[in-house]
Structure 1
Amino acid sequence: MDLSPVGTLSPSPALDHPDLLAAPVARALASLPGAERVGVVAIDPDLADTAALSEAHQVPLEASANCVLVAGRRDGEERVAACVVRADTRADVNGLVKRTLDVRKASFLPMERAVAESGMEHGGITPIGLPAGWRLLVDARVLDVEVAVVGSGVRRSKVLLPGRLLADLPGAEVVEGLAG
């Protein structure tokens, strides 16, 4: 794998280190075209939050991508989506996300539910390996990140991958202006 370091994070091939990935993430990567371009790096779990990681490992915020889970209802049907945005932006949950999901109100998924249904740890949720049926909305600006730092499904590591690869995830929808 020829993946460059980001800040002081120097990745190893993710496929060679499934122990550093949540089970759904490892399963998803095993069948993802381009997975050989995905790296993983062990980190201190106390640094899993973006701001702490950025400061400790000199990772620019624009190189990190956050994945937030939201849900809303329309006609009695719940609609869940993962929104991936650069860490120097915020998902427009009450505007574009709400309109894209076609719901009256979009809210962040409660942490306990997000963890239980994703099979991932709080602070490590990633767009890779999400449950079938959840929409995956990716802000178009994330695709321009040469090497993006995202969660691995666990707090003790991070995944590094070309931002453009996020558009190739199953069900990914690239949305202009998803974040402000």
Structure 2
Amino acid sequence: MRNWTISGTLTVHPADQRTDLLAEPVAKALTTLDGEQVGVVEIDPELADTAAFCEAYSAPLTASANCVIVAGKRAGEVRYAAALVLATTRADVNGVIKRRLDARKASFAPMDEAVELTGMAYGGITPVGLPADWPILIDKAVADSPELIIGSGVRNGKLLVTGELLASLPNAEVIEGLAKPVA
């Protein structure tokens, strides 16, 4: 198992040995990835939101990435995508993502819709295990990161991964400028 330097005060386990900390679609998707590259930590589900998580467990905000589900609409058709950006930035939904989805309008998918379509808990949605036809848009800064903390599909766990692993996911597209700095 890899030695993760960003785990803060948490104990890291190989993800394939703690599937109780993964949503079902995430556990299934991880069987196709190199398990040595993925760690998982158990957390208090009340602390799943990024800022609270980082503060409580001494994990660096700069190594945390957020996955948001975006719905793009054109001519009555809805297209979904996941966008993965560093927690210190915000996804460019109305610029880069809207153009990539070839949509007239793009916005964050409603919470209940995102949960139903992904099979994951809100606040734990991750790019690992998403529907096979969804593009996974990854900001270049995420892809270039040696270590990242992301959701595990449930609120009581977090995955530790590399940007390289995320960029290798099926349907992943690394995009320069996908994220904008937080103002």
Same fold? TM cut 0.5: yes
CA contact (8 A) 1:44 1:156 kept: yes
My pick for the range that moved more, 70-79 or 90-99, is 70-79
Alpha-carbon offset, residue 19 of structure 1: 1.1
Alpha-carbon offset, residue 146 of structure 1: 1.6
Could you tell me which runs of 5 or more consecutive residues in structure 1 were left unpaired when the two chains were aligned: none
Aligned length: 179
The aligned runs of 1:58-97 (5 Å cut-off) are 58-97=58-97
Tell me whether 1:166 sits opposite 2:166 in the alignment: yes
Query: In 1, Cα distance between the equivalents of 2:52 and 2:23?
Result: 21
Query: In 2, Cα distance between the equivalents of 1:59 and 1:151?
Result: 14
Write the deviation string for residues 11-48 of structure 1: whole angstroms up to 9, x where unpaired. Answer: 1100111111000000000012x232100000000110
Question: Is the partner of 2:179 in helix, strand or coil?
Answer: coil
CA contact (8 A) 1:3 1:161 kept: no
Aligned to 2:134: 134
The share of aligned pairs that are identical, in percent, is 60
Query: In 1, Cα distance between the equivalents of 2:176 and 2:3?
Result: 26
Aligned to 2:26: 25
Query: In 1, Cα distance between the equivalents of 2:3 and 2:142?
Result: 17
Aligned to 1:14: 15
Alpha-carbon offset, residue 58 of structure 1: 1.5
Could you tell me which runs of 5 or more consecutive residues in structure 2 were left unpaired when the two chains were aligned: none
Question: Is the partner of 1:67 in helix, strand or coil?
Answer: strand
Query: In 2, Cα distance between the equivalents of 1:145 and 1:8?
Result: 20
CA contact (8 A) 1:139 1:179 kept: yes
CA contact (8 A) 1:5 1:11 kept: no
One-letter identity of the residue aligned with 1:119: G
Write the deviation string for residues 115-167 of structure 1: whole angstroms up to 9, x where unpaired. Answer: 11100001100000001211110001002222100000000010001121100
Give the structure-1-normalised TM-score. 0.96
Tell me whether 1:4 sits opposite 2:28 in the alignment: no
Question: Is the partner of 1:68 in helix, strand or coil?
Answer: strand
Write the deviation string for residues 75-124 of structure 1: whole angstroms up to 9, x where unpaired. Answer: 33221000000000000001111111111110110000111110000110
Query: In 1, Cα distance between the equivalents of 2:63 and 2:11?
Result: 14
CA contact (8 A) 1:150 1:158 kept: yes
Question: Is the partner of 2:124 in helix, strand or coil?
Answer: coil
CA contact (8 A) 1:28 1:128 kept: yes
One-letter identity of the residue aligned with 1:141: A
Aligned to 1:41: 41
Give the structure-2-normalised TM-score. 0.94
Query: In 1, Cα distance between the equivalents of 2:20 and 2:51?
Result: 25
CA contact (8 A) 1:61 1:88 kept: yes
Over aligned residues, Cα RMSD in angstroms? 1.0
CA contact (8 A) 1:138 1:173 kept: yes
Alpha-carbon offset, residue 5 of structure 1: 3.6
